[in-house]
Structure 1
């Protein structure tokens, strides 16, 4: 087989596809949910609870195991993390090639659907984002494996292949909730193309000849569904299925099924927009969308002229898009906003099904050819259902070659332009700065929490985007504890937007207090000071105390029900003391020793890089153009008037 020309060209196609995927991965890097995964693994043990926890509606114990393993071996190590996904993606392409060979035999025509899947732009965005690839890439491999072993089992009846089908389905269920619909896909595929007779007769054949196999598939589906529902009820509120909003759901489905899929499946969109931190979305131009539908319509019509039963293939594709891609996405995201449907990762797996359907719509399986040669034994004789061999002339082969090359060029260009939307350099630089900073932390420095930039982790993730959560996987155990639970310290440090650990301070605009104009120290009542403040709370909240003291002195910070007792070191020339306190309340209270301590500053709230605070103060001091002056321009205008 290695010396077969069809096989050799097929391997060349796989090699080209692999090179394109490597290029995309070289332009990508960890972003968004990737940080959340590493942080969760770093703060947890490898327990059933960790593996079975839902993540934004995804049930994926296999993915969580890979996350834990990656964090243990090399947190935020891109080459190994992305390389694992690349190997699985290439494996899915190779298994798909084997599936085509198994279904149709050796044919030059196999190279067309192989090219369609191997170079599919729909599979690129999901591969370039590690968190998304953890679901989608293993699932694509499981689909290809399950289809391949189903074909082998139904042809040979060998029990070992039935168990391999079960293993492939279970493998998919470990990574993606969509695998719930993998057994129905196998049944529809087998009934439509492997069992003899019409659809109803084929269903009867299936449950008569292979009752135990298909009953097992039904049981597997129901068991997985029960497990998912149990985990959803046991999980965090909001991490799972939701009640869709009708307008949002309709918009989401329209974008997925009528825009993203046809354009991406046929080599588009050429240009990706809008661009998000995770890469470009697919909101195609009107001409590109119209052209995609025209091409798709021509393909469908041509297949129906070649094969009367081609409609089965297209019905299979439509059903998969609706039931495996659109409806699950609506259930999970249908209460957010319809623009979510422009994300191609939700239909990435449909690229494999589309390529398979393309082959089934034009090519005859071995089963169909065998039944034709034996006179369709066991089937009702209907001359309209007889195969109509189509002699493909040189023009047809040339046209197929040209169309395939055009698709390959379009898909390659779309892949290139998608890579241009990625911000891997920025993300690499950020984490490189974090690594360098964590290697040089002063022993007495307080490392306080601050949200990482929006292009690293989006704001709506709340406390999960704090530096004390997402950056600790890069720290050693002792330093990680200082970040998780910071202690009072004489100096404060936070990570700036470039990933550098820098000196920090409190903003002066809110919840900050200084002595009266003619006083050097804060007024107090036997050491008691209290202020009304805006409520912040949370891990990033820090009480900042500026003071002078000739000797060590006691300090108590009280916010709501939280009381922190600490000791102020002597500071004859003045100093600051930073006390983390997470309680949320509208009253901020200090207790000090008035005979030892002169408090010159107090504030409560998140800290910010000192350089940012200086820039903010400078901008406030600079008057706006035209705001101040001697009025000469106004006098001139009056004179002219």
Structure 2
């Protein structure tokens, strides 16, 4: 990231001159483009095994039921402020709700853009040398970036963040070399893009600053920091303002997190998360691991590297660091930046967001997916000279006959390990099960009878985990699948009906039966006797789309009654029937069902049973 004018690249091997008209046909660019294309094809194959899961359904449901407004876009979801992501979800839900091709294809396109632009960054920063293919391969084939891509709600944070970092580095590099302030604005725009999709976007300005201070200034690093501030104060003031604004918005919207925002971690979880994330998941992941996965969650397997792989990864990292320090005078700065980023941008936010729950989150690769890109950048800075930086190696490499094959062997070994890891991860995905469930539910809703009422049940655990509470109910998860707003509304809150239906575990709509408490006539009686015109049943509940009151009756003619529960009264029309049954949903909490029959006698309306409860599929 030289501050001076661009100089001709120093090549690792005799290659053609860096002429603009020949740049796109240069062998390094062609091989790099092939790496990018193969990696994108591999990720596309993984995405075919994946499907919507967990928060994906929650995002789509919230978008389907909300207007495109500030409160919806800036709410904090499980510690994440992500207005750009919610805006994208809202648009895609309006275009084609829960359409995997659209959702996954958009993320894949952004990932491809990040990979292609990273190739452009490497050649712009280090020249058209074969050595840039090593960090390129390390990023585009990184297994750490695959799990986060295959889970839509996680990809909405991580993939645009990676793209934003590459764009910011490209713009910053151009600004450092030209001094044209337009590129400072482009740097800020890229940072704002990252902030719009991920809270980690607030760590981009500090990362850009330490990179500029380390590699665009001369002298000791602590002096370079001051020199960089004096050299480009407007840029760093601009980025500081973005960071302060983003942080202020995050803090101002914390109340929307509903208890799932940031908080102090449990002391016992800190050590476990740190050990897993930085001791096992990251080191194996950036070197092609973890090779094996487990346990398997609905969104895919967690990193579970063998002990030999962990030891091997640390050994390889130690060799990489040692060789770079032997070869280049400022390589330690790159590794220091990487270590700082891992702690400040990855570990600390994870501890604050998830440290109150359980330590196993440290085995989730998605929390260090962005670090795969930072590792590739730092690897390049540790080994390759920047164009025009005047930073000669401390010691020259041994004869090229040793150095070049060693780099090639490392790259091939990395790619082989990454292929094994990615293939293994794809085997942990349960996309086919969820896809089949959604297809059945979508088809059932398209043929929903007009007289039916759909009552809520929890969707299967492999669709949305039950710990999400009411948000795991079919009434919350499935409305985006409806073809029209009326059907969606009938899912969210069922209407009175004589034909209750529920979704079974396969996603089919089937007849339902009510289970709960009931009142029946005393022995020798055929009907429940009203007291002052009222029939009551003690039945405390919170109400909602999963529960209802049921009236089983006989009426020679149509009859009207009023049913009360909590603070809500509803007029209920009972059609003439010798053995009728009518179900009345209750939306509000209460403790007692009351049926007001007015002046109707038992010969006009015989209530044979009053029941209250939830539903199960009828046997």
Q: One fold, TM greater than 0.5? A: yes
| 8 A contact 2:326–2:394 mirrored in 1 | no
| 8 A contact 1:89–1:141 mirrored in 2 | yes
Give the match for residue 575 of structure 1: 580
Give the match for residue 167 of structure 1: 189
Moved more, 135-144 or 203-212: 203-212
1:481 pairs with 2:503: no
1:186 pairs with 2:237: no
Q: Aligned partners of 1:595 and 1:166: how far apart in 2? A: 78
Q: Aligned partners of 2:260 and 2:421: how far apart in 1? A: 33
Give the match for residue 621 of structure 1: none
Give the match for residue 263 of structure 1: 284
Which of 309, 321, 324 is matched with 2:330 structurally?
309
Change (3 A) 1:579 1:101: same
Give the match for residue 522 of structure 1: 528
Deviation at 1:169, TM superposition (A): 0.4
Q: Aligned partners of 1:389 and 1:188: how far apart in 2? A: 27
Give the match for residue 294 of structure 2: 273
Deviation at 1:430, TM superposition (A): 0.7
Moved more, 130-139 or 236-245: 236-245
Moved more, 425-434 or 398-407: 398-407
Give the match for residue 470 of structure 1: 477
Q: Aligned partners of 1:490 and 1:189: how far apart in 2? A: 68
Q: Aligned partners of 2:510 and 2:537: how far apart in 1? A: 29
Q: Aligned partners of 2:395 and 2:177: how far apart in 1? A: 24
| 8 A contact 2:327–2:394 mirrored in 1 | no
| 8 A contact 1:95–1:145 mirrored in 2 | yes
Which of 557, 560, 583 is matched with 1:554 structurally?
560
| 8 A contact 1:537–1:605 mirrored in 2 | no
| 8 A contact 2:78–2:257 mirrored in 1 | no
Give the match for residue 512 of structure 1: 518
Deviations 1:361-414 (A, max 9, x none): 111212433x66xxxxxxxxxxxxx74333542122112212211110110111
Deviation at 1:529, TM superposition (A): 2.3
1:6 pairs with 2:28: yes
| 8 A contact 2:537–2:610 mirrored in 1 | no
> In the TM superposition, what are the counterparts of 1:248-397 in structure 2 within 5 Å?
248-369=269-390, 387-397=394-404
Q: Aligned partners of 1:55 and 1:191: how far apart in 2? A: 35
Q: Aligned partners of 2:592 and 2:369: how far apart in 1? A: 52
| 8 A contact 2:79–2:257 mirrored in 1 | no
| 8 A contact 1:310–1:360 mirrored in 2 | yes
Which of 213, 217, 238 is matched with 2:235 structurally?
213
| 8 A contact 1:536–1:605 mirrored in 2 | no
| 8 A contact 2:63–2:90 mirrored in 1 | yes
Q: Secondary structure at the residue paired with 2:77?
A: coil
Deviation at 1:526, TM superposition (A): 5.3
Q: Aligned partners of 2:42 and 2:551: how far apart in 1? A: 56
Deviation at 1:51, TM superposition (A): 1.3
Q: Secondary structure at the residue paired with 2:453?
A: strand
Give the match for residue 25 of structure 1: 47
Deviation at 1:324, TM superposition (A): 0.5
Moved more, 257-266 or 463-472: 463-472
Q: Aligned partners of 1:416 and 1:54: how far apart in 2? A: 34
Unpaired runs of 5+ in structure 2?
1-22
| 8 A contact 1:32–1:278 mirrored in 2 | yes
Deviation at 1:534, TM superposition (A): 5.0
| 8 A contact 1:473–1:480 mirrored in 2 | yes
Which of 393, 401, 414 is matched with 1:407 structurally?
414
| 8 A contact 1:245–1:334 mirrored in 2 | yes
Q: Secondary structure at the residue paired with 2:416?
A: helix
Deviation at 1:72, TM superposition (A): 0.7
Q: Aligned partners of 1:124 and 1:516: how far apart in 2? A: 64
| 8 A contact 1:457–1:465 mirrored in 2 | yes
Q: Aligned partners of 2:257 and 2:144: how far apart in 1? A: 31
Q: Aligned partners of 2:523 and 2:283: how far apart in 1? A: 70
Which of 434, 438, 444 is matched with 2:441 structurally?
434
Deviation at 1:597, TM superposition (A): 2.0
Change (3 A) 1:288 1:387: closer
Give the match for residue 490 of structure 1: 498
Change (3 A) 1:517 1:343: farther
Deviations 1:51-73 (A, max 9, x none): 11111111111101100110110
Deviations 1:223-244 (A, max 9, x none): 21112111224x2431421122
Moved more, 510-519 or 466-475: 510-519
Q: Aligned partners of 1:590 and 1:392: how far apart in 2? A: 93
Change (3 A) 1:595 1:525: farther
Which of 85, 99, 107 is matched with 2:129 structurally?
107
Q: Secondary structure at the residue paired with 1:566?
A: strand
Deviation at 1:434, TM superposition (A): 1.0
TM-score (norm 1): 0.90
Deviation at 1:209, TM superposition (A): 1.5
| 8 A contact 1:555–1:591 mirrored in 2 | yes
Give the match for residue 157 of structure 2: 135
Deviations 1:273-294 (A, max 9, x none): 0100011111322222222212
| 8 A contact 1:564–1:581 mirrored in 2 | no
Deviation at 1:516, TM superposition (A): 4.0
Deviation at 1:256, TM superposition (A): 1.2
Which of 583, 591, 596 is matched with 1:591 structurally?
596
Aligned residues: 593
TM-score (norm 2): 0.93
Moved more, 160-169 or 561-570: 561-570
Q: Aligned partners of 1:389 and 1:211: how far apart in 2? A: 37
Give the match for residue 119 of structure 1: 141
Give the match for residue 565 of structure 1: 571
Deviation at 1:297, TM superposition (A): 1.5
Give the match for residue 627 of structure 1: none
Q: Secondary structure at the residue paired with 2:81?
A: coil
Q: Aligned partners of 2:86 and 2:552: how far apart in 1? A: 45
Deviations 1:469-522 (A, max 9, x none): 221112111212222232211110111111111111112xx3134344544333
Q: Secondary structure at the residue paired with 2:52?
A: coil
| 8 A contact 1:303–1:310 mirrored in 2 | yes
| 8 A contact 1:249–1:335 mirrored in 2 | no
| 8 A contact 1:119–1:408 mirrored in 2 | yes
Unpaired runs of 5+ in structure 1?
373-385, 615-641
